[in-house]
Amino acid sequence: MKTQNIAIYAWVAITVAIAAWVGVFIYAGWISRQLDTHQSQATDMQSISEREMEAIRLHALVRDTKNLRAQLDGLTRTDVIGVANIIESIGKIVGAKVKIGAATPEAIEQKGSSNNTSGLRAVSFVVESEGTFASLMNTAALLETLPMISSIQGMEIERAPLSSGPNSTKQVMWRLVAHIRVLTSADISS
């Protein structure tokens, strides 16, 4: 009987030990799931926080650049006639004869997009001027600093042939041809 009681106690002890180990494994699994849940929540909170910070930075950037964007918009709102008038008025300032030989619309190449979604258009002007070398240098300097978004694509300065008439002066005349590209948001009729 004693061996039978010992066997029963041994089986009970083994069953209790197995049950305890099963409980430990279940508890460890529960703790692991809780940790995963907390890590997932922390990752989600960090992601939400980063998105909110990015939105705040973007909002601040938009607010801080409001005046600069308004200036840029003012520079690009110039219509083609206004640009032509500004270019022709340079001649009166420097004392040279300035005229526009041609003005043609150009396509603006944009990376990653086949259509012009920005609203900017380009116009190419061919500007011709005649005068003294000094007046043409002043004209070139003013063309480089036009009060709009523009770039000089090319510039040629050459000595004009001397006229040999009875009223000809001894002053040497020069000729300037400049190709200027101007960006505008104004509507350009083709």
Confirm if 100 and 146 have CB atoms less than 8 A apart. Answer: no
Residue 73 counted as domain residue? no
pLDDT of residue 160: 77
pLDDT digits (tens, 9 = 90+) for 132-180: 888 999 999 999 988 888 899 999 999 977 665 555 556 678 999 999 9
Domain extent for 28: 2-64
**Any domain includes 103:** yes
Chain Cα centroid distance, residue 25: 58
The number of folded domains in the chain is 2
The domain that holds 96 is classified in CATH as 3.30.70.60
Note whether 100 and 39 are same-domain residues.
no
Tens of pLDDT along 43-62?
Answer: 999 999 999 999 999 988 88
Q: What is the pTM of this model?
A: 0.56
DSSP for residue 166 = T
Q: Which residue has the tokens 């099963």?
A: 22
DSSP, residue by residue, 100-151:
EEEEEEEPPP-TT-SS--S--EEEEEEEEEEE-HHHHHHHHHHHHT-SSSEE
